[in-house]
Amino acid sequence: MNKRKTKKYFKTDDEVKLVLDKLEAEYPDADCALHYDSIFHLLLAVVLSAQTTDASVNRITPRLFSTYENPRQLAAADIKDVEGMIKTLGLYKNKAKSLVGIGNMLTESYGGEVPRNFSELQKLPGVGRKTANVVMSVGFGEPHIAVDTHVFRVSNRIGLVDEGDVLKTEKALMEVIPKNRWSHMHHVLIFHGRRCCTARNPKCDECCVRDVCRYNRENQK
């Protein structure tokens, strides 16, 4: 079987390195924007962050975290109480169900600990690849790339990869970006997407990689 060939705009490793270096220099403070005090609470925060902003999540988690300090307490929670705490977030009913389900499953199947395993994490309610990648990277310090809407948009727009969906983008970025840079570049691409390479009206004139960006070059023609 032939090895899958990643589609990308930049042809050499040196060109990719130039883009990565420029972006990292622009965002030296790039890091997880969610507030948390344990891996358990990080997991909950990432689940809550789906289709909403990290700032919105950070506003409601202090009360949530102080009330449910561990999985056993969350497993025993009244789901209506959880809903009330997270009601300002989108999809709060589904998220509350996922949170209580996580508490139950961690208590019953994992001894009250968040599993340090990518596949096991995805067995938890409301946890998909993106959430599992973030927990493995931010919580456990292992190299992973989580592809959210910003990472997908920015990496394809710049030309680091050229893929049509999130999973293909994740796998392509793992081929293009050196493994020791996966975790940090995840945050850097998010920062660039929030601050400059926005979905609408990207600030190309202010962009640190505008001279090599595929999107900018194509739109200058």
Active-site annotation holds for 81: no
Taking Cα atoms as reference points, which of 13, 11, 60, 20 lies closest to residue 155?
Answer: 20
Which of 3, 7, 87, 130 is an active site residue?
A: 130
Q: Which two structure tokens, joined as six digits, stand for 182?
A: 């996966």
What is the C-alpha to C-alpha distance for residues 46 and 44, in angstroms, rounded to an integer? 6
What is the C-alpha to C-alpha distance for residues 205 and 118, in angstroms, rounded to an integer? 39
What is the C-alpha to C-alpha distance for residues 194 and 99, in angstroms, rounded to an integer? 27
Mark the binding-site residues, compressed into ranges: 197, 204, 207, 213
Q: Are 145 and 173 in contact (CB under 8 A)?
A: yes
Q: Which two structure tokens, joined as six digits, stand for 203?
A: 């600030």
Mark the binding-site residues for [4Fe-4S] cluster, compressed into ranges: 197, 204, 207, 213
> How far is the first Cα of the chain from the last one, in angstroms, to the nearest whole number?
39
The contacts of residue 38 (CB under 8 Å, 6+ apart) are none
Question: How many angstroms from the chain centroid is the CA of residue 182?
Answer: 12
Which of 7, 148, 162, 171 is an active site residue?
A: 148
Active-site annotation holds for 211: no
Taking Cα atoms as reference points, which of 43, 16, 8, 9 lies closest to residue 130?
Answer: 43
Give the catalytic positions in this structure.
130, 148
